[in-house]
Amino acid sequence: MRGLALFIGDIRNCQNKDQEEKTVYREMAKIRGKFQNRALSGYDKMKYTWKLIYMYILGYDVDFGHEESLNLINAPKISEKCTGYIATGIMLNEKSDQRVFERVINAIKVDLTCGNQICEALALATVGNIGSVELATQLDEIVIHKAFSEDRSIPKQVRKRALLTLLSFFKRNRASYNQEKWLRGFKFLLTFDDMGVLLSLYSLILGTIQVMGRQGYEDIVPILIEKISHMNSSAYNNQQQGYYYYQTICPWLQIKIFKILQLFPPPSDNGHQQKINEVLLQIIQKTEVTKNVNKNNSDHSILFEAFNLTIHYRQAASETLRKNIQHMLDKFISVKEPNIRYLALETMCKLVQSSSNNQFKIQGHLQTIITSLRDQDISIRRRALDLMFSMCDSRIAGEVVNELLDYLQENDYELQEEMVLKIAILAEKFAENLNWYIDVIIKLIEFAGDYVGEDIWFRVAQIITGFGQAEPNVNLQKYAALKMFDIMSMPSLHETMVKVGAYVLSEFGYSIADLPGKGIPKQFQLVNRHFFIVSPTSRGMLLTAYMKMLKNHPPLRAQVVPLLEQYKDYWDEDIQQRVCEYLAMLELSDELGEEAQQLMNEALDVMPNFNDSLQTNSILNRRILKLKVEKGFTINSDEVEKSIKQGMSRYETNNTVSSALSQNNPSLLSGMDNLNLGSEPLQKSSKTSVSQPKQQQQIVQENNLLDLDDLLSGNSKSNLGGSPHDLLSSIADLQPPSIGGGDEILNHKFYMTHADRFSPQQTIKLGQQTLDMTVSNAQQWKSLLPFSVKEGVVYQDSNIQVQVSIQIIKYLERLLFTFSSSQGGQLSDIQVRIPTSLYGDQLEMQCSPVKYSDQDPQIVMMIMLKETFAVSPSMKVQYKTPSGQTNQFEMRLPIFLNKFTEAVEMPTSDIFVKTWDDYTHNRPSSFQKMDVIFKNPALHVSHTDVLNKTANFFKNGMNLKVFQDNEWIVRGVGQVNFKPPSQVTFPSNPNDMQKPIIAPIMIEAEFFKEDISEFKISVRSNDSKMIAQPLINFLKFYMQPNQ
């Protein structure tokens, strides 16, 4: 087609994107006009349709031409029909015009029953490509008949396409699945010799068993073994049957057979086992490296799948076979070709993990693996790290850990988090003495403190403290105290190191207090020098450490009490509560004497031993598995199940220090018992050192400005009667049991049936709720937090009322506060304090002097967003009433991430879907991808009411552009604006504002037809700013009326 060729040439000759867009839109306008001519010839329809297909492939939105594609499908000429089907399969989906979609289905039904194999093949290919639920519902009977019918007159081209179409249907909708019928069809089709039919059949069998399980399909194993044995026989090769790819007999067919066999245990029949062993040995022995790249690729693809099957069979595979695999893998891990080296490292890792004893010697290969650890390819580096971790034993543990520590200093940021976890696990598993373990963890914190999470240093605390009823390891505690004393004398430390040092010295510092220069006053001085450089959470821990030191050395009271007094009115509630409790303890000990002193000593006693169950159930192993899911790697469920059952007994066997650990030292990480990939709190045995925080105050909301409470309180117009319901009964309802925006989501029933609607990489975990109602102005603050609310009362009591007016431009928020007396008259001596130092990294805040006039006093506060933050800042106010009484209060400010959002003018929801899919499937794990399952908050009303309210919240509460194409899903898109580094000062007017740093935000709320008791909330964003988790927490907060 000359016109099509010229158009493609014009596109390729465009100098820039703008020129290309002009060319495309000009051609679109021309085609739209041509399609209005009903006398257009079939050739011209084909030409213009091909142009539309090309535009669509380039990424442009083509919203017309479906009628013409349908006309081409109904055309008598095969060339026109082929063009129509291609256009329909590429550009049409279930979201397209429903009338066109139904007409396409009717046209496909006609072609599927016309008897022309070309038309039937074209129709099946198109149906399989679209693969929608509606197509599966209406056409499954026809497709199943074409696939499984024992009528051998059905053309092979039609049958193999029917099998692939059925696989596409099965992935979307399993309603048509009937095991008895399908198994009968599988057995019949396995008798075919046609390679195309068998390849399609094996794809369907593999997809079916992976989802539905192997039970009931055991009878196909002997058939597959006979087939693979026959394909590799000399008689078969001499006949030159089948399809050869570079002199290799149908490599894809052999790979499929090996993959299916890996889903079943080794055959119980000795004859079948001997046959498959012979086939595997023949493939391993005959595979050679040639100069032809394509030949190498095909042969080695079969070879490595044969390796995987041999590893799966374990001892059922012959000893010769296993030795040959070991020999070849030893050679492959050092080759230059990166693909083969990657597969060899991955396969060797599987081989080691499947072995029941340490029969593989790696000392000779350790340097080779270490070399791969420094490869330029991140995938090879990751496989080398996995192999070192899996093959490590007590003989080489020290060397492996030292090598990993050296590599940790090379700042491989993509591997650091995983490497830190694995070093910590290896150090515990194979520690010949626990002093070495302590040294390794200290080095970890020193080299990569940002990646040493609480679970790691919590584990150190557990090990030093002890487990169960055993006596403490005094020598270990003394060694740890000496080590941390020396480290705490350094001028600059990572915050994690400060926390470890504070814990160790406060609990066990008394054991070195008698040594020269290491008394408790000196320990207090070393810890206190880091007090003002750590976060509020760590400060609370340091305050507890000071009290424990004070218990052991009472003269410290003169230094500790003034510090506590300074934080008695601190903005952070946890620190304030701790301080008040500690001061009360001290006051009671003064007033009541010995009895109160004894009570304080009990509260501040040495940390009791941790629960003995933690000794054999470390959370670090679960973190490894969780991290792999977050990074997007596939986790083999069989291996996980096996690890749970075996308890990683191999590591228990290799542990040289197990006898010593039984004397109240940690045993090995015995596996993933009670697998739970979420975080879990530390469990202690009996005593607690400080009281628990008070219960959060329960405040009932009123007058929600987004009209959300009508729905949430059961007063919706759709409510058909009965008593009001608590539609979101607790935070647990929005954060359902064991489902929380992490790897757990991959086990949910919705993921099983709608995997395409989820991200296989859950890169953001749900986290802890950071918005709460435990503030004095909770009700007013919550009413002002939605984006659409611009003014209102932010605080009110019997003496004062504070009104606020809100203005927002990009990353700048301006708050005008007006202070008025509730009893008449004018307030005076108003003083305000804002937490500029605490939020210095996240917010830039500036407050004007108080302006007094004839009217009520006012102040102006300016805020610029620099980084994300989890908790809205508070402001302290002190004032004098008209009667002269001095009062003070603290109120939370209406500042949160949603205030800095801005709707994005995305033309259509199709562009949203394309961008969403790109973020979900193509972008790296650094991008924010989060899916959370919420329970339906309103089962007593229509799910559309819930979805409509959610859409309203996206628009008014979060300032997003909303798309609501149907009754099952609502989408929102926007961006969060951050202050650029070039904006040094606060702008005096909008023209002085610099171009903001933009973090895109895309969010979906979706119900699924088969179960509306739950729905999915998903968030996608790039890696510029971490905004997903705070905004999900913001959404949760507003859908909980009673929290």
- List, as residue ranges, the binding site: 2-3, 34, 43, 47-51
Sign of CA dihedral 493, 499, 504, 507: positive
Q: Is the separation of the CB atoms in 787 and 897 below 8 Å?
A: no
Task: Give Cβ neighbours of residue 659 (< 8 Å, ≥ 6 apart).
Answer: none
Q: Is the separation of the CB atoms in 146 and 120 below 8 Å?
A: yes
CB burial readout 75-103, b (16+ within 10 A) else e: beeeebbbbbbbbbbbbbeeebeeeebeb
Ordered alpha helix ranges (H), 374-452: 378-391, 397-408, 413-429, 434-448
* Cα distances (Å, whole numbers) of residue 111 to 107, 108, 164, 200, 754: 6, 5, 18, 21, 29
Ordered alpha helix ranges (H), 509-636: 520-528, 536-552, 557-566, 573-592, 594-603, 620-630
At 292, which amino acid appears? N
Closest Cα to residue 75, out of 55, 49, 101?
49
Q: What does the block give as tokens for 704?
A: 């929600």
Closest Cα to residue 794, out of 895, 902, 898?
895
CA dist 896 and 786 (Å) reads 9
DSSP 8-class letter at 267:
P
Q: Cα 274–277–283 angle (5° rounding)?
A: 145
Ordered alpha helix ranges (H), 59-174: 66-73, 78-91, 98-112, 117-130, 133-148, 156-172
- Strand pairing report for 1011-1021 and 961-963: unpaired
Task: Give Cβ neighbours of residue 996 (< 8 Å, ≥ 6 apart).
Answer: 810, 811, 977, 978, 979, 980
Inter-axis angle of helices 573-592 and 536-552, to 10 degrees?
20
* Three-state secondary-structure class, residue 972: strand
CA dist 434 and 322 (Å) reads 37
CA atoms in the 13 A half-sphere facing the CB of 295: 8
CA dist 256 and 253 (Å) reads 5
**3-state percent helix, strand, coil for the chain, nearest multiple of 5:** 55, 10, 35
CA dist 112 and 85 (Å) reads 13
CA dist 539 and 531 (Å) reads 6
CB burial readout 752-776, b (16+ within 10 A) else e: ebbeebbbebbbbbbbebbbbbebb
Q: Cα 221–313–284 angle (5° rounding)?
A: 95
CA dist 323 and 359 (Å) reads 11
Task: Give Cβ neighbours of residue 999 (< 8 Å, ≥ 6 apart).
Answer: 975, 976, 978, 1021, 1022, 1024, 1025, 1027
Q: What does the block give as tokens for 677?
A: 């990939």
- Could you write out the three-class secondary structure of 684-753? ECCCCCCCCCCCCCCCCCCCCCCCCHHHHCCCCCCCCCCCCCCCCCCHHHHCCCCCCCCHHHHHCHHHHH
